Amino acid sequence: MAYEMTVRRKLAIATWGPPSEGNIYGKLTLDATEALAYLEHLRATTGEKVSMTHLVGKAVGMALKKAPDLNGRILFGRYVPHTSVDIAFLVTLDDGKNLAKAKVCNIDEKPVNDIAKELRELAERLRTGKDDAFKKSMGPVKMMPTWLLRPVLYYTGFLASALGWSIPALGVEPFPFGGAIITSVGMMGLDEGFAPPTPFARVPLYVLIGAVRDMPAAIDGQVVVRKQVVISATIDHRFLDGYQGAVLAKAVRDVFENPWKLSGMDGRPQGSIASEVAK
């Protein structure tokens, strides 16, 4: 029986060769207790199905705002910053056979529930075949052999992700992946993972969200069981050194330690459903 490659597999073969570039890999193991309570509070008060992915997206957006040296691209050997903080999220299609991206612009300025609503609507358009740009981009991918697809991806990526050109005929927008790509491996049952850089995306930061697990933690000198999550990142070393990495990590950690600040509160509302969550 002849094997028919999926679009996802063709893109993978056409995109990557043997590793040759310098990347930094890091992870944060974060106490998710307050984050889970905050997400439950948002579900109860806004009716939106917010998740860990949306909160991490907000946290990374705030981190990129504080570390502008990471929110940009390299063009002709020179760093060029983006004018806004935009992040792409990966969306699974066709029962996991293919992937698409949904980009949220100005994510640092949006509430978590608005991010959730926007991503839900974008994902629905992709999964129901109503995203015209995605359909245009997939047409050539399905028809081209991988040997031809590789240079097409490279030059299309350069025009769109480096120069910021729009290519309507191919369904390509300027800077289609923004400044970072986020995806969740927790929904697949994985505790953590690291994403390979995608050359044509020209994105310096890839963030993976692991599953929330009960793990031992040291609290006030005592070992207790807490809900924890691992956030891992693959970062282009051309963009980031130790200082920027510390700024990035601190910004994400601060959101998890007190997510209530995102809604202008000092802590959990007394007597609310959040007070009983994640105990």
DSSP labels, 124-174:
HHHHTT--HHHHHHHHHHHHS-HHHHHHHHHHHHIIIIIS---BGGGTB-S
pLDDT at 187 over 90: no
Residue 3: what pLDDT?
A: 58
Q: Has residue 191 been placed in a domain?
A: yes
Residue 278: what pLDDT?
A: 47
pLDDT at 109 over 90: yes
Tally of domains within the chain: 1
pLDDT at 90 over 70: yes
For residue 141, the enclosing domain spans 22-260
Q: Has residue 279 been placed in a domain?
A: no
Q: Has residue 268 been placed in a domain?
A: no
pLDDT at 7 over 50: yes
Residue 84: what pLDDT?
A: 97
Which has the higher per-residue pLDDT, 52 or 69? 52
What does the DSSP assignment read for 220-269? TTEEEEEEEEEEEEEEETTT--HHHHHHHHHHHHHHHH-GGGGGT-SSPP
Mean pLDDT of 103-118: 98
pTM for the full predicted model: 0.89
Q: What is the mean pLDDT of the chain?
A: 89
Which of 100-104, 138-142, 197-201 has the largest mean confidence? 100-104
Beta pairing partners, 88: 103, 181
Q: Has residue 159 been placed in a domain?
A: yes
We report the CATH number of the domain holding residue 142 as 3.30.559.10
Beta pairing partners, 231: 28, 209
Q: Has residue 64 been placed in a domain?
A: yes
Q: Determine the Cα–Cα distance for residues 256 and 245; give it in Å rounded to an integer.
A: 17
Beta pairing partners, 224: 217
Mean pLDDT of 90-109: 91
Burial class (CB in 10 A: 0-12, 13-18, 19+), 47: exposed
Mean pLDDT of 58-70: 92
Count of CB atoms within 10 A of residue 200's CB? 21
Q: Could you tell me the pLDDT band of residue 18, with boundaries at 50, 70 and 90?
A: low
Mean pLDDT of 174-193: 93
Q: Has residue 31 been placed in a domain?
A: yes
Q: Has residue 15 been placed in a domain?
A: no
Q: Report whether 188 contacts 56 (CB < 8 A).
A: no
Q: Could you tell me the pLDDT band of residue 85, with boundaries at 50, 70 and 90?
A: very high
Kindly state the tokens that stand for 48.
């939106």
Q: Has residue 270 been placed in a domain?
A: no
Q: What percent of the chain has pLDDT over 90?
A: 62
Kindly state the tokens that stand for 40.
């439950």
Residue 77: what pLDDT?
A: 85
